[in-house]
């Protein structure tokens, strides 16, 4: 009851009450998403095509295409149907494309920056061939010493380089001598693939944030350097055996299909350098992409399958080349059948100390 002489405030009218009640932001967001999702599939595809055509061919403008795929599921499906895989378009768009084979006709030009202070390596997609090119960040890796082994943890997040992260892509693991490496993928390469039962996998698997992200490490390749115990004169030799993704898979199938069939291993070897009498050194033609002599520099070409030695292979086309251009800057160019993830892992193997190699 109001005091004597005081008047009680009248109750608000219906219109005033409606203004007092605030709208639920979650409901508004759901309505907004549903409104975008109701667009016709043909219209959605046309919108994505227009976005890609209006300056979205290259980064950083290509982030607009990624933004379209992030609106909702239907927009994502529309973007998948429009955007072509790297093997066809020569472009890296989504994180999934980092594990897709590169183009066949021309290499995908990237570069790696090394930070010696924290043993971290950063992979960038090059926009130009200029050494001052800032590039588009793709992946990062950090070197860890685990007992007699060395591991390089590869992640999409440059700040979170651990196997417990949702950004975890895979890892490279060396033996004690630093001459044999195994490449592990965070996702199974094909149906029926078994995850590694290493101690590090069991240790970090439980820390993953999302249970939908695979916590396993699946072996997808090996890199080996020729033992050179006698310190004989000449460059070290390099061999790789990889489970490469199929170039025939469409972009849509690669995102929607959880498993693939095994395709058999792909074997690579380093292209043998030639001795230059005038310079008195071993030389390879990097076509201007490598400017500093280093034992880390290499070029990989296809090698014949040991089980089928009579098979003809193209041993002239360079599938991966890696080399030094500055004290902590290296170029990395790859093409089909390798993916960016595989090329990065192979390149990381060149940084380690090799006790049994010259």
Q: How much is the pLDDT for 24?
A: 54
Q: What is the pLDDT of residue 258?
A: 46
Instruction: Say if 335 falls within a structural domain.
Output: yes
C-alpha closest to that of 94 among 62, 142, 130: 62
196 found inside a domain? no
Please indicate, yes or no, if residue 89 is contained in any of the structural domains.
Answer: no
Question: Token match 């005033």: residue?
Answer: 16
The residue among 41, 57, 83 that closes a domain is 83
- Nearest Cα to 259, choosing from 169, 192, 213, 311? 192
Residue 60 in contact with residue 133, Cβ under 8 Å? no
Beta bridge mates, 324 = 292, 330
> Which of these, 356, 358, 336, 354, lies nearest to 268 by C-alpha position?
336
Structural tokens at position 185 = 């993928």
Domain boundary among the residues 57, 83, 109 is at 83
Q: Is residue 323 part of a domain?
A: yes
- Together in a domain, 172 and 302: yes
As a whole number of angstroms, the distance between CA 146 and CA 128 comes to: 38
Residue 176 and residue 239 share a domain: yes
* Same domain? 169 vs 297: yes
- pLDDT per 10-residue tile (average), the chain, 358 residues: 52 47 53 66 82 73 82 82 85 89 92 95 85 82 90 94 90 90 89 68 42 66 76 72 70 49 81 82 87 90 73 82 94 94 96 63
* Same domain, residue pair 109 and 72: no
Residues 220 and 264 in one domain: yes
Q: What is the pLDDT of residue 250?
A: 40
What's the CATH code of the domain at 144? 3.20.90.10
Does residue 93 form part of some domain? no
pLDDT at 48: 84
Residue 140 carries which DSSP code? E
**Residue 143 phi, psi (nearest 5):** -90, 130
Residues 170 and 48 in one domain: no
Model-level pTM? 0.79
Both 106 and 62 in one domain: the answer is no
**Tokens at 47, concatenated:** 């919108």
Q: 118 with 241, same domain?
A: yes
Number of folded domains that form the chain: 2
Q: 104 is in which domain, residue-wise?
A: 99-191+215-250+259-350
Question: Could you tell me which of 153, 224, 221 has the C-alpha nearest to residue 189?
Answer: 221
Q: Where is the domain boundary, 83, 107, 131?
A: 83
If asked whether residues 165 and 301 sit together in one domain, one would say yes
Shared domain for 44 and 163, answered yes or no, is: no
Residue 187 sits in the same domain as residue 320: yes
- Residue 309's contacts (CB-CB under 8 Å, 6 or more residues apart) are none
Angle at 61 between CA 59 and CA 63, to 5 degrees: 85
Do both 44 and 175 map to the same domain? Answer: no
pLDDT at residue 157, rounded to an integer: 94
On whether residue 205 sits in a domain, the answer given is: no
* Domain-embedded: residue 92: no
Residue 13 domain-assigned (yes or no): no
Q: Answer yes or no: are the C-beta atoms of 273 and 233 closer than 8 Å.
A: no
């Amino acid at each position: 009851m109001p005091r004597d002489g005081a008047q009680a405030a009248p109750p608000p009218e219906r219109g005033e009450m409606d203004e007092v009640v605030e709208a639920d932001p979650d409901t508004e967001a759901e309505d907004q998403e549903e409104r975008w999702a109701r667009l016709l599939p043909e219209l959605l595809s046309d919108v994505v095509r227009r976005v890609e055509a209006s300056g979205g061919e290259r980064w950083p403008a290509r982030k607009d295409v990624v933004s379209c795929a992030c609106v909702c599921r239907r927009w994502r499906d529309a973007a998948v149907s429009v955007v072509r895989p790297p093997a066809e378009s020569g472009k890296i768009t989504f994180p999934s494309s980092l594990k897709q084979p590169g183009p066949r006709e021309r290499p995908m030009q990237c570069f790696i920056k090394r930070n010696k202070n924290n043993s971290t390596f950063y992979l960038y997609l090059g926009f130009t061939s200029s050494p001052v090119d800032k590039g588009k960040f793709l992946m990062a890796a950090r070197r860890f010493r685990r007992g007699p082994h060395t591991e390089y943890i590869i992640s999409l997040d440059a700040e979170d380089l651990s196997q417990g992260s949702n950004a975890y892509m895979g890892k490279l693991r060396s033996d004690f001598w630093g001459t044999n490496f195994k490449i592990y993928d965070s996702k199974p390469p094909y149906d029926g693939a078994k995850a590694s039962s290493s101690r590090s996998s069991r240790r970090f698997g439980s820390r993953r944030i999302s249970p939908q992200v695979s916590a396993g490490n699946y072996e997808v390749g090996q890199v080996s350097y020729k033992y050179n115990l006698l310190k004989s004169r000449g460059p070290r030799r390099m061999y790789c055996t990889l489970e490469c993704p199929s170039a025939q898979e469409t972009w849509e199938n690669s995102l929607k299909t959880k498993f693939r069939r095994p395709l058999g291993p792909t074997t690579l070897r380093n292209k043998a350098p030639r001795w230059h009498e005038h310079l008195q050194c071993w030389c390879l033609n990097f076509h201007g992409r490598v400017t500093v002599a280093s034992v880390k520099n290499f070029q990989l070409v296809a090698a014949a399958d040991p089980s089928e030695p009579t098979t003809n292979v193209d041993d002239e086309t360079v599938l991966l080349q890696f080399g030094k251009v500055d004290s902590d800057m290296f170029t990395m160019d790859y093409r089909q059948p390798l993916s960016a993830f595989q090329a990065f892992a192979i390149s990381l193997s060149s940084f380690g100390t090799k006790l049994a190699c010259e």
